[in-house]
Structure 1
Amino acid sequence: MDELSNMCLKHNMPRYQINAFSNFLCDTVFDGKDVLEVGGSALPRELTLNFLNAKSWTCVDILDEGSYQKDKYNDHYKNEFVYKLSEAHPSHIENDYTIYDGNIENASKLEFRKFDIIVSITSFEHILAMPQALIQMKALLKEGGVILTHHGPVWSCFCGHHAWISQTLNFNSEGIIPDFAHLLYRPPEFYRIMESRIGSELAGQLMLQVYNEPRVNRYFYEDYISFFENSGFTKVEYSPYFEREVSAELLTRLMELHPGYQNFSAYGMYAKLTK
C-alpha cells in the first residue's frame, strides 16, 4: 500500500485513485494481463506497465480540448499519442500502451484485442448510454474477465450533481450548494436559492449544468445495481463507499420525492462484474 501511495503521489494522482487501486488489488492481479481502462487516460506507464506489470494498457476516454485531465496532466499527453477511437486498427495490438479518444459504447473496433480486466475510476457516473456501454465492455472481455469500477459521486448522494463551474464553485465546495439541492428542488427553486448566494450569472450557469447538461448520467445508486444485474454477467458484486448518514426526516423527504429509491447515503459504488 505504501509503495502504491508513493507511486501515485509521485505522479500527482488524487487520493481517490489510490483508494480505487487499493480496492482493485484486493480483487485481482494485473501482472501479465491485458487491461482496458474506461475514462481516466492519465495513468502513467510507470504505474500501469512497471508497478502493476500489466502486459498491455489501453484506455478509452473522452478528451476534448481544454478538458480537466488534459490541462492537469499536460506533460503526460504531450508524451503519449492519442488516437481517435474510429482509428483503432488491428496493428495497434503490438502497442503496450494506447489511448483512444471516444465513448466506450462505440468501441467495437477494439474487438481485435480481448481484455482480461476492464478498470474504471470515477467515470461510470459520466456514462450516459449505460446499457450499450456494458454490452460493449462485455464483448471486449475474455471469458472469465472482470470489470472493476470505483465511481462517484452518484446522482443520489448529497453532491451527486457533480457540478464544476470553477475551482471555488463545484461539488466539493462546502457551504455554497446545499446538500441534496439537485434532488430537493426544481430548477426555478434551485436558481432562486443560488442567485441569493452567488448572483444571477453564476446561478444560471450552475442551474443549467446541474439539470440539463450531459456531464453526468443522473442515475441513482439503485439504477447501477439494476443495470449491472441485467447485463448478462455471470457474477455481479457491489458495495457502497463513503457513506454519509442522512437524517430520518431528510430521508423520508427524499424517498417521497423519488419513489422507488432508498439509498441516499452512498457517495459512490465499488463493483466487480465477472463475464
Structure 2
Amino acid sequence: MNKQAFTHPSVNYKFDQDNFAVEDESLSLKYFEEQIIDSQKYWRRFGGRPDFSGKVVLEIGCGHGALSIDAAISGAQQVIGLDLISDRITFARRIVAERFPDIANKIEFHQLDIDNMTTLDGKVDVIISKDTFEHIMGIDRILVSIKRLLREGGLLITGFSPLYYSPYGDHGFHAIGQPIKLPWAHLILGDARVVAAYNKYHEAVESHSGVECHSVYELGLNKLTRREFLQAFDQAGFAIVSETVNAVQGASKLMPLLRLLNKVPGLEDYTTVNMYVIARKI
C-alpha cells in the first residue's frame, strides 16, 4: 500500500463515557460470564490462543476484564487492561479479587486512554483487543501509541465486529429496544434517524436519563471499512501476519453466504462483518 497520510472524520470525535448507559451489577456479571466463555470462540478465530507464556500483555478496551483474565491464566507474566468506562474497570478489579486471587498479583486494570500510557514504552510483547477497534475514534493516533508501547517485533492481535456498513453495523441502534432489527436498515434510514432512535430509547429509560448523542460517531461507531483499517495499519508501520475476514466459528448460519458475497466486486464493504488481524510492529 502507498505510504500516505491516513485520516478519517472520526478523528475529530473523542469518546465520552457519559454518552453510554452502563450496565447494572446483575447485567455486568451476566455479561462477564458470557465473555469468559466467548473468549474460547474468539481465540479459535485466530487459529488458537496465542502463546502468552512469560509475556507482557496489554488489552485495549478490556471492558469487564474477561480477556485480560484469560491471558493471565494462560501464563502471561503481566497483564494490563485499559478501558475508558470507569464502572467497568471497577467491576474488573473486583471480580479478579473475588474470583481469581491466584492471578491478582500479575493483572491490573486502569481507566486510561492508551495515549496516556507511557510507563511501558517498548516493553509490551503483545497488545490484544476484542470488539473495540470498530469503536475507536482516530484509529491512526491509537495505532501510533500501540506501536510506541510494543517492543521490536511485538504483536497486535485484534478481532472486531460488526463493521459499520455490514448488515447490522450500527449494532442494532436503528431498532434499539425493538424485537426486530433489519439488515442494512441503518444505511437506508441514515445516520440522523439511527441517532434519534438511540436517544429516544434512552430518554424513555429512567435509569439512563441524560444520555444523548448527536452523531453516529458519538454513538461510538467510527464507520471505518476494511480497506481503511488496513490502510491505517500500513501507515502506522505494521505488517499483517494474518487476517481472517468473516470468521465462521460461532457465527450465524448466514456467514458462509456473506463470505461468498464478499468476493463480489462492489459488495465488500457491505458484507465485511468482522476482521481478525495479527499484525507485527516493523
Q: Give the TM bin, normalised by the shorter chain.
A: 0.5 to 0.7
Contact 2:56 2:78 in 1 (8 A): yes
Alignment pair present for 1:115 and 2:115: no
Find the counterpart in structure 1 of residue 157 from structure 2: 148
CA RMSD of aligned residues (A): 4.2
Query: Which of 107, 113, 118 pairs up with 1:97?
Result: 107
Q: Which has the larger radius of gyration?
A: 1
Which residue type is aligned with residue 225 of structure 2?
F
Find the counterpart in structure 1 of residue 243 from structure 2: 238
Find the counterpart in structure 2 of residue 90 from structure 1: none
Alignment pair present for 1:12 and 2:33: yes
Alignment pair present for 1:169 and 2:201: no
Which residue type is aligned with residue 238 of structure 1?
E
Contact 1:37 1:58 in 2 (8 A): yes
Find the counterpart in structure 2 of residue 126 from structure 1: 135
Look up the SS of the partner of 2:41 in the other structure: helix
Kindly state the Cα deviation for residue 220 of structure 1 after the two structures are TM-superposed: 1.8
Q: How has the CA–CA distance of structure 1 residues 244 and 274 changed in structure 2, closer, same or farther, with 3 Å as cutoff?
A: same
Which residue type is aligned with residue 17 of structure 1?
S
Kindly state the Cα deviation for residue 207 of structure 1 after the two structures are TM-superposed: 10
The CA deviation string for residues 14-65 of structure 1, in whole angstroms up to 9 with x for no partner, is 3542222234563731111111111125138863333x11111111111234
Partner Cα separation in structure 2 for residue 163 and residue 148 of structure 1 = 26
Which residue type is aligned with residue 98 of structure 1?
E
Equivalent residues in 2 for 1:13-162, closer than 5 Å? 13-14=34-35, 15-24=37-46, 26=48, 28-41=50-63, 42-43=65-66, 47-50=70-73, 52-65=74-87, 75-76=94-95, 96-107=106-117, 109-111=118-120, 114-162=123-171
Partner Cα separation in structure 2 for residue 215 and residue 191 of structure 1 = 11
Percent of matched pairs sharing the same residue: 19
Q: How has the CA–CA distance of structure 1 residues 174 and 267 changed in structure 2, closer, same or farther, with 3 Å as cutoff?
A: farther
Contact 1:38 1:123 in 2 (8 A): yes
Partner Cα separation in structure 1 for residue 195 and residue 280 of structure 2 = 43
Kindly state the Cα deviation for residue 136 of structure 1 after the two structures are TM-superposed: 0.5
Question: Please, what TM-score do these two structures have when normalized by structure 1?
Answer: 0.67
Look up the SS of the partner of 2:277 in the other structure: strand
Q: How has the CA–CA distance of structure 1 residues 45 and 174 changed in structure 2, closer, same or farther, with 3 Å as cutoff?
A: same
Partner Cα separation in structure 2 for residue 70 and residue 220 of structure 1 = 33
Partner Cα separation in structure 1 for residue 200 and residue 269 of structure 2 = 33
Look up the SS of the partner of 1:267 in the other structure: coil
Gaps spanning 5+ residues in structure 2: where? 1-29, 100-104, 205-210, 249-254
Partner Cα separation in structure 1 for residue 256 and residue 163 of structure 2 = 13
Which residue type is aligned with residue 26 of structure 1?
G
Which residue type is aligned with residue 267 of structure 1?
V
Q: How many residues align?
A: 230
Kindly state the Cα deviation for residue 133 of structure 1 after the two structures are TM-superposed: 0.6
Partner Cα separation in structure 2 for residue 226 and residue 188 of structure 1 = 28
Q: How has the CA–CA distance of structure 1 residues 45 and 190 changed in structure 2, closer, same or farther, with 3 Å as cutoff?
A: closer
Query: Which of 268, 271, 275 pairs up with 1:265?
Result: 271
Structure with bigger RCO (C-alpha 8 Å, 6+ apart): 2
Find the counterpart in structure 2 of residue 217 from structure 1: 222
Gaps spanning 5+ residues in structure 1: where? 1-8, 81-94, 256-260
The CA deviation string for residues 132-165 of structure 1, in whole angstroms up to 9 with x for no partner, is 1111101111111100001111112111112569
